[in-house]
Chains A and B, each alone.
Chain A
Amino acid sequence: MWEYTDKVKEHFLNPHNVGEIENPDGIAEVGSLACGDALKLTFKLDENKRIKDAKFKTFGCASAIASSSALTEIIKGMTVDEALKVSNQDIAQYLGGLPDEKMHCSVMGKQALEKAVENYRGAPALEEGAKIICECFGVTDKEIERAIRENNLSTVEDVTNYTKAGGGCGGCHDAIAQIIDRVKAEPKTDSKPKLTNIQKIRLIEETIEREIRPSLKQDGGDIEIIDIIGNRVIVATRGACATCKASDITLKNFVEYRLKELVSPDIIVEEAAK
């Protein structure tokens, strides 16, 4: 039997905010029957753009129901931006902790929240550049990366406990292990010291070499750094990228995104004039 905290039991036996809001401002469904848990989240904002009401419907075990209940309680009264800062750890902590094997329930809450906010903002539901790693449970590389970063995970088993990835056929265990290695190799963003200009330029070069060019090359493309002026990184596209109509999307959503993440949030990527 799982050792659930009293708080989990309380939120499972008497869940708060069960139901569905009519004409919600944000709505999301995550999970599926096949996975064994699924969550439908709806929320409504007040005139000050704060979350006035949030409701859920959940198919799942006690911790999935309790996590959903906790999530709706936590985000009430928050702005959308504040709500987005709620992590799966916050949900688990609110419940006094969850068994390791059940952490994916709190991650599901986090995913539903993100998708509901995306829905509210009219953004695409699919994460840009995300690739399904675990076919059994439909978990993407981005989701796995984020779970590893936010929860400091170090084994495939941890990743499975937190995201369900790798819990089915096991065919993606190697891919998950590679993602763990990759994330672990990242410089720690939290304790990032202020970079000198030279350090920043080096870090940009390294990041492009290590993180960006290998991915582009897989698709027959490539980029080259032309210049770095302050936070502006000017690059030229090569190979398939040079003729690709979507190359500016790649530069923004992949190259710039990674550099913002790994070097500095102020980085802007621009394409050199052809």
Chain B
Amino acid sequence: MKTIYLDNNATTQVAEDVLDVMMPYFRDLYGNPSSMHTFGGQVGQKIRQAREQVASLLGALPEEIVFTSCGTESDNSAIRSALITRSDKKHIVISRVEHPAIRTLCSHLGMQGYKITELSVDKNGILDLENLEKSMTPDTAIVSLMWGNNETGVIFPVEEAAGMAHEKGILFHTDAVQAIGKIPINMKNNVIDMLSISGHKLHAPKGIGVLYIRRGTKFSPFLIGGHQEKERRGGTENTPSIIGLGKACELAARNMEKENTYVKRLRDKLEHELLKRIPQSRVNGDIGNRLPNTTNISFEYVEGEAILLLMNELGICASSGSACTSGSLQPSHVLRAMGVPFTMAHGSIRFSLSVNNTEEEIDFVIEKMPAIIERLRGMSPFWNAKEQACSKQ
């Protein structure tokens, strides 16, 4: 059975070109870039090149790029650094729809005496910047807002938000893990202090991330150890992955247009056809202001895990915001923050595409989904009741 992979916000396939540039650094060129000999030193040169490739995608300076192990490490490093470098301040502003890497960290910090403000979003997942303005106090150390939401794809006006934070002398961090490579980002055009990236969302391998730290921003390292990354992140460099991520960033810059034309068109087609063919379905999130690859669709009166498992039988991979898929008993915090009714939230499916998807794959999904939803609705005690209620009217 062929796999149709529409779960690219979870992780992506490592691009072939990326894997090719990495391979020699596992096998032959395994030197430590910190070594004094040429055998190691030549790896150091490749890391410099990778740093330039990442910086180029971001419109940043190479020295502003710090390699980490993942997006979560980048997020943790940014927040903790702000709290250390501004140790007199005890307040953090985030949003209710942040990734667990930020939300769970902040709830832990909340237990340690920090005050956390979680900004709400409206029913389309949009942030009200007036609320941000009101939430910032002289005690605020840092504001952290994600650039693109992983579940709905909704884009936050982080550049504007960063400007507002700066006016009050507050640091600004953004988790750009989902946004990077999908929408143009140029750090020369904003005042964002720190930004997180994860390699595996970008066709680089898992286990590699980046924290962008604007030049001049005071920083206190999270991992303390050797002199690597200019003492901003201890630990021997993950050389193959860093080199792979450099290549992936180069490819992302090249594919940016394709993301916003080809991928966006496939996403729109999928969304449009599913809404048309399946009654009682709707899109979660602001459709006018989204990452081009993501759509989050709710199918009322059916449960997400059951939908996913029937899709799985056909080789279609996606994810859900339903409670049952998470192991917790509540549907996704993002959908709840948006006030999506429970009837809709439990039956939400996120499709996230990539440049690797084909028209045939999308057509196949469009063809198969209506029967899957119908089959589960046929078993649902609510669906009949609903139909009967409608026919009585």
Residue numbers of A with Cβ under 8 A of B are 2, 12-13, 15, 18, 20, 29, 33-40, 57-62, 64-65, 101-102, 137, 160, 164, 167-168
Contact = CB atoms under 8 A, between A and B. Distances in A.
A145 to B, nearest CB: 20
B303 A57 contact: no
Which of B303, B322, B329 has the most CB atoms of chain A within a 10 A radius of its CB? Answer: B329
B384 A33 contact: no
B342 A36 contact: yes
Interface of B: 301-306, 309-310, 313, 322-325, 327-331, 342-343, 346, 378-382, 384
A33 B323 CA distance: 11
B381 A167 contact: no
30 contacts: A12-B309, A15-B379, A18-B378, A18-B379, A33-B342, A36-B303, A36-B329, A36-B346, A37-B303, A39-B381, A40-B381, A57-B379, A57-B381, A58-B380, A58-B381, A59-B301, A59-B302, A59-B303, A59-B379, A59-B381, A59-B382, A61-B305, A61-B306, A62-B309, A64-B303, A64-B324, A65-B306, A137-B329, A164-B329, A168-B330
A36 B330 CA distance: 8
A64 B304 CA distance: 12
A271 to B, nearest CB: 44
A62 B384 contact: no
Contacts of B310: 13
Contacts of A168: 329-330
B379 A65 contact: yes
Which of B303, B309, B381 has the most CB atoms of chain A within a 10 A radius of its CB? Answer: B381
Shortest 5 CB-CB contacts between residues of A and residues of B: A167-B329, A61-B324, A61-B305, A40-B381, A57-B381
A13 B322 CA distance: 19
A115 to B, nearest CB: 13
Contact of A38 (B322, B325, B382): B382
Given A38-B381, A59-B303, A59-B380, A33 B346 contact: yes
Which of B304, B309, B310 has the most CB atoms of chain A within a 10 A radius of its CB? Answer: B309
A62 B305 contact: yes
A260 B382 CA distance: 40
A36 B306 contact: no
Given A29-B381, A33-B346, A61-B322, A13 B327 contact: no
Contacts of B324: 36-37, 60-61, 64, 102
Contacts of A37: 303, 324
Contacts of B322: 36, 61
B360 to A, nearest CB: 25
Contacts of B331: 36
B207 to A, nearest CB: 21
Contacts of A62: 305-306, 309
A20 B313 CA distance: 27
Contacts of A57: 379-381, 384
Contacts of A40: 381
Contact of B306 (A18, A39, A60, A137): A60
B283 to A, nearest CB: 20
A167 B303 CA distance: 18
Contacts of A33: 301, 342-343, 346, 382
Given A58-B380, A61-B322, A34 B342 contact: yes
A43 to B, nearest CB: 15
A182 B305 CA distance: 36
A58 B379 contact: yes
Contacts of B328: 167
A62 B302 CA distance: 11
Given A101-B327, A137-B329, 19 more contacts: A13-B313, A33-B342, A36-B303, A36-B323, A36-B329, A36-B331, A37-B303, A39-B381, A57-B379, A57-B380, A58-B380, A59-B380, A60-B303, A61-B303, A61-B305, A62-B309, A160-B329, A168-B329, A168-B330
A92 to B, nearest CB: 16
Nearest to A40: B381
Nearest to A39: B381
B304 to A, nearest CB: 8
B310 to A, nearest CB: 8
A102 B343 CA distance: 20
